[in-house]
């Protein structure tokens, strides 16, 4: 049996079959799942995927929503550029229809070569190669090389059962050929070069990790009794379009002994962020681009995870004594 035939047979018996985006040929649902699955584990994606479909059952509904509504539903899933690109792409699809090939799908905002291929395979049965991080690991170990993996992935494509084969690659990389693989469960272990040569830990080669730069910022947590002040961050950029605490002091607020809260460390792909929240009790004043919200209501807005967590802490620690401080 060929590499592809072994994977196809294995997937039918041992692969994943109950995921909510399986069993459909609807390109909208497949596209939505593939975007959410970028750099995110299946378990984290499932509840977001189901909530999105409940609210936006088709691409017209998604395109008609505002960016803020989309980001609000995306809040907590991370990599928020995906949510913004999803909304932009929905508008393009609404105007022009869903692209019918991997090459055309790759032109949508937020869709790369491997994601486009996966969508084209599952929606249209196109014979296209995927090569995400999990698949790179499978191929590098099995064939003992990291050179020309795209060409290798294309050579391995079967003539039939392309959907099953593609799902098999995803399943194998996600559940068996992990960083600490379960080689006994692998359908291609007999021919695996990395296993034969004792190079499982070397392939694929770890990228040299550089120390991530540390950036620092201050959050001014302006509060009046049970309300807090949030402002919407500009898009694009870090947390673009989401609601956050102001990072610059508002000189029109007379501060009354701001209190330093516990610093917050948050990691991004290319840097680490250390946030120093300052709790400031002030008298509410309206200003453009900002909103005073009840702490409980604010948690339902489009928020990055550190803001949501801090709001939860503020709500837990709210006491009648704290309110009387004013």
Residue 126: both structure tokens together: 């196109």
For residue 18, give Cα distances in angstroms to 23, 24, 61, 122: 9, 12, 26, 15
Concatenate the DSSP letters of all residues of 162-199 into one string.
HHHHHHHHHHHHHHTSSSS--GGG-TTGGG-HHHHTT-
Q: Are strands 259-260 and 272-281 parallel, antiparallel or unpaired?
A: antiparallel
Closest CA to 82 of 136, 135, 35: 35
Tell me the CB-side half-sphere exposure of residue 261, using CA atoms within 13 A.
20
> What is d(CA 215, CA 49) in angstroms, rounded to the nearest whole number?
32
Helix (H, G, I), strand (E, B) or coil at 279: strand
For residue 268, give Cα distances in angstroms to 239, 265, 272: 11, 10, 6
194 Cβ contact partners less than 8 Å away, ≥ 6 residues apart: 140, 141, 142, 144, 200, 202, 203
Instruction: Tell me if the bond preceding 254 is cis, omega within 30° of 0.
Output: no
User: Counting every residue, how long is the chain?
Assistant: 326
Helix, strand, coil content of the chain in percent (nearest 5): 45, 10, 45
- Among residues 5, 34, 54, 286, the one annotated as catalytic is 34
Residue 12: both structure tokens together: 């039918």
Q: Note whether 219 and 276 are within 8 A (CB).
A: yes
For residue 89, give Cα distances in angstroms to 52, 69, 99, 126: 15, 15, 11, 21
Q: Determine whether 202 is an active site residue.
A: no
Residues annotated as part of the active site: 34
């Amino acid at each position: 049996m060929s590499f592809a035939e072994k994977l196809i047979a294995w997937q039918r018996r041992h692969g994943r079959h109950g995921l909510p985006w399986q069993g459909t040929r609807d390109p909208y649902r497949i596209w939505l799942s593939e975007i959410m699955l970028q750099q995110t584990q299946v378990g984290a994606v499932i509840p977001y995927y189901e909530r999105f479909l409940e609210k936006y059952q088709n691409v017209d509904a998604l395109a008609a929503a505002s960016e803020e509504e989309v980001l609000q539903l995306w809040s907590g899933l991370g990599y928020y550029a995906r949510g913004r690109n999803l909304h932009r792409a929905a508008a393009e699809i609404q105007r022009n229809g869903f692209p019918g090939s991997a090459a055309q799908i790759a032109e949508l905002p937020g869709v790369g070569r491997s994601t486009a291929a996966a969508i084209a395979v599952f929606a249209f049965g196109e014979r296209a190669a995927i090569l995400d991080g999990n698949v790179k690991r499978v191929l590098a170990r099995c064939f003992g090389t990291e050179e020309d993996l795209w060409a290798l992935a294309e050579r391995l494509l079967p003539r039939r059962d392309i959907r099953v084969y593609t799902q098999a690659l995803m399943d194998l990389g996600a559940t068996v050929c992990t960083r600490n693989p379960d080689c006994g469960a692998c359908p291609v272990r007999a021919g695996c070069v990395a296993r034969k040569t004792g190079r499982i830990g070397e392939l694929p080669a770890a990228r040299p990790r550089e120390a991530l730069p540390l950036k620092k910022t201050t959050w001014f947590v302006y509060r009046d009794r049970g309300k807090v002040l949030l402002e919407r961050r500009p898009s694009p950029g870090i947390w673009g379009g989401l609601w956050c605490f102001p990072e610059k002091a508002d000189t029109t607020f007379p501060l009354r002994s701001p209190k330093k809260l516990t610093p917050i460390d948050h990691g991004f792909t290319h840097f680490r962020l250390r946030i120093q929240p300052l709790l400031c009790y002030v008298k509410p004043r309206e200003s453009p681009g900002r909103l005073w919200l009840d702490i409980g209501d604010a948690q339902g807005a489009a928020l990055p995870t550190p803001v949501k967590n801090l709001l939860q802490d503020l709500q837990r620690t709210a006491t009648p004594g704290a309110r009387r401080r004013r």
